[in-house]
Amino acid sequence: MKHYTAKWFPDGKRLLCQCAEPGHLTRNYVIDVQTGEARPLTPEGTFGLRISPDGSLIVVADLEGKQTVWPVAGGGHVHSCACIR
């Protein structure tokens, strides 16, 4: 897996990382720093490193520039938004 960029979560225990597996588009992963486990969070073709202050949500954009809020705990996107810059 290729790692492009990363940002620390507020808890200092996890990283939000933009990565891509060979032959695939980028997506966001949550990496547990202690175990090294990388869990995919968003679908392929998404990117962004905005993390909410409490670490529960991230904002990513797709290839068309559409921004979406995703819960870090999983379960799919919360909602689309056009107001975040």
41 alpha carbon, distance to own chain's centre: 6
Percent of the chain with pLDDT over 90: 78
Predicted confidence at residue 11, as pLDDT, reads 95
pLDDT digits (tens, 9 = 90+) for 9-37: 999 999 999 999 999 999 999 999 999 99
Strand 14-20 relative to strand 67-71, pairing? unpaired
**CA distance linking residue 28 with residue 48, whole number of Å:** 8
Sign of CA dihedral 73, 67, 6, 41: positive
pTM attached to this predicted model:
0.85
- Can you read off the two tokens belonging to residue 32? 């547990």
- Radius of gyration of the CA atoms of the chain, in A: 12
Write down all domains in the chain, each with its CATH number in brackets.
Answer: 2-81 (2.40.10)
